[in-house]
Structures are given as C-alpha cells and as structure tokens.
C-alpha cells in the first residue's frame, strides 16, 4: 500500500459552468488541483479567464470559454471546445445559475421575463448541458459524469417560488439522466447547497452591496443551519470533487445537500 494517494481526477477532461465566480470558480480550482484539465465556462468571459489565470498560477491546466448556458448553440460550442482542447469530455459540472431577480420577491411579483430567464438558465442550462454531454459520452464511449448544482430551495420551500421550482426540476432531471445513462456508464448527481453569503449570488439577486458577505448576513445564514456555519463555495467544491471522481463510481441519481443539516430538520 502506498501512503501517497493519486489525485482524484488525474488526467480527466472537465467542464465547469459558472466557473467565473463562487461555487464554479472554487470547483474549477479544486478539479485542477486534483489533476483535471478544466474548461472554465461562464457568460462573463473576463471572469472565466480570471479563474484560468488562478489555475495556471497554481500549476494546473485550464482554458476559458464564453457560454450562456441557456443557449443551446453556446453549450454545443462549449463541449466542442473541451473535446478540441483535451481530446474528450469526462466530466460536466452544470453549475451556472441565477437567483430570484429581486431577493424576497413573491410568486405574484415575478414578471413573465423573470420566469423565462430563471427557467432558461437554471433548468434550460442543465437540460442543454446534460443532453449534449450524453451525446458526447455515447459518441466517445467509456461513460462519463454529470454533476448539477441544485439547491435546498429545490428540496424545501425556501429561496423563492420560481427559483425553487427550477431547482426541483434540476433534481428530477438529474435522477432521470442517471437512470437513462446508467446502461452506458454515465453517472448523474447533484449537490444542493444552502445559502452561501460569500459568493456573488446574493448580490446578483439584489442584496445591497454592504450586506453581501457582511458579518451580520453571514451570522444570520449560519444561525439557520444546525451546524451553525454558513456554507461556502469551497464546501460545495469538496462535495463536487468526490461526486465526479471514480471514488463515487457506484453513486448515481442522488441529490447531496451541502447545507449544514438544514433539510434534515
Ligand atoms: N449562493 C447561494 O446562496 C446558493 C444557494 C443554493 C444554490 N446555489 C446555486 O449555486 C450555483 C452557483 O452559485 P454561486 O453562489 O456560485 O453564484 P455566483 O453568482 O457567485 O456565480 C455564478 C456564476 O454563473 C455565471 N452565470 C450566470 N448566468 C450564466 C449563464 N446564463 N451562462 C453561464 N454562466 C452564467 C455568473 O457570471 C457567475 O460567474 C447556482 O446554480 C446557484 O443557483 C447558490
């Protein structure tokens, strides 16, 4: 037995969406640390490029791609970029997502445009990503891994009605892809984070800048979790590394809450 362990993702070709910030950036960095070659995809190319710079500075291999995951052509091009650059696709982490446009908005406050954007990015992005990853996995053979970012908001009624419904849809698509993909060696799982005050998500939802990641917001979020700590992007990245690695070879169709016990109550 060797004491040194092999990197969990040695030589794998991976795509992370929403890789310019938060969970996506933390996961892209951890995937690279574990030996993966990473396509960092984001609607904001500048942010994806910044993540690539951080990975390269740490000695890893990565490339940036601009992609709006709600657009099928962008998703097709993103997967082609991974195949062109790294020869194949082993892992797709469908992580990009957007919050309720005005945090705290009630169902009746959502406009038709809010609805279309939430469904288009949060559910459409995972539909297009999963569809084209499965096509690529079947074409190249040897299976493949899909990981989706859902939310505790898809498990309990928290975090916004339409937003939560899109995340419930993500969870259900995850299970369905897992069952359809199993005969082909394709695994599909999801993580379900609880509130993460330190990413850019809450600001994207309209939380005032002085409240984002403030001590008060962090404490409020932490207090709502049985373990008493706010969830971080790094917490999610650790769960992601495990689920996309061969260490989880016999795990498919599960939604793993990363929530400090929030939904266990
Ligand atoms: N932060 C939270 O409280 C929280 C809680 C539960 C689940 N989540 C989920 O975690 C995931 C990541 O969120 P985060 O907290 O890291 O947020 P974040 O805002 O810090 O990062 C999201 C990234 O996705 C990118 N993005 C947005 N729309 C995109 C699109 N159409 N195509 C491609 N990229 C796009 C953004 O540019 C950004 O870089 C999301 O799916 C979110 O729903 C977040």
Domain boundaries, the chain: 13-256
The b/e string for 156-191 (b: 16+ C-beta within 10 A; e otherwise) is: bebbbbbbbbbbbbbbebbbebbeebeeeebbbbbb
**Is 143:187 a contact under the CB 8 Å cutoff?**
yes
195 Cα–ligand 1 center, Å: 12
Fold classification of 13-256 is Rossmann fold (3.40.50)
Would you state the pLDDT for residue 241? 98
Would you state the pLDDT for residue 2? 63
Q: Would you put residue 48 in left (φ > 0), alpha (ψ -120 to 50) or beta?
A: alpha
Look at ligand 1, atom 43, and give the residue with the nearest C-alpha: 97
180 Cα–ligand 1 center, Å: 27
Look at ligand 1, atom 1, and give the residue with the nearest C-alpha: 196
Which positions are catalytic? 163
Please identify, by atom number, the ligand 1 atom nearest to the C-alpha of residue 71.
31
Token pair for 244? 């996309």
Would you state the pLDDT for residue 214? 86
Give the residue ranges of the chain where pLDDT is below 50. Answer: none
């Amino acid at each position: 037995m060797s004491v040194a362990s092999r990197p969990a993702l040695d030589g794998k070709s991976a795509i992370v969406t929403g890789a310019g910030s938060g969970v996506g950036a933390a996961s892209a960095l951890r995937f690279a640390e574990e030996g993966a070659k990473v396509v960092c995809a984001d609607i904001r190319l500048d942010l994806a490029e910044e993540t690539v710079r951080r990975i390269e500075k740490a000695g890893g291999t990565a490339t940036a791609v601009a992609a709006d995951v709600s657009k099928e052509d962008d998703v097709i091009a993103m997967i082609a970029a991974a195949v062109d650059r790294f020869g194949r696709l082993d892992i797709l982490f469908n992580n990009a997502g957007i919050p309720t446009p005005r945090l705290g908005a009630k169902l009746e406050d959502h406009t038709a445009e809010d609805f279309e954007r939430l469904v288009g990015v949060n559910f459409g992005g995972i539909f297009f990503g999963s569809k084209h990853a499965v096509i690529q996995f079947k074409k190249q053979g040897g299976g493949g891994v899909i990981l989706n970012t859902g939310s505790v908001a898809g498990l309990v009624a928290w975090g916004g009605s339409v937003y939560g419904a899109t995340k419930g849809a993500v969870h259900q698509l995850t299970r369905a892809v897992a069952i359809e993909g199993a005969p082909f060696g394709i695994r599909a799982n999801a993580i379900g984070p609880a509130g993460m005050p330190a990413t850019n998500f809450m600001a994207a939802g309209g939380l005032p800048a002085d409240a984002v990641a403030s001590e008060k917001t962090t404490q409020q979020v932490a207090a709502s979790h049985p373990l008493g700590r706010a969830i971080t992007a790094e917490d999610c990245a650790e769960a992601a590394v495990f689920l996309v690695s061969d260490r989880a070879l016999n795990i498919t169709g599960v939604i793993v809450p990363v929530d400090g016990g929030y939904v266990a109550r």
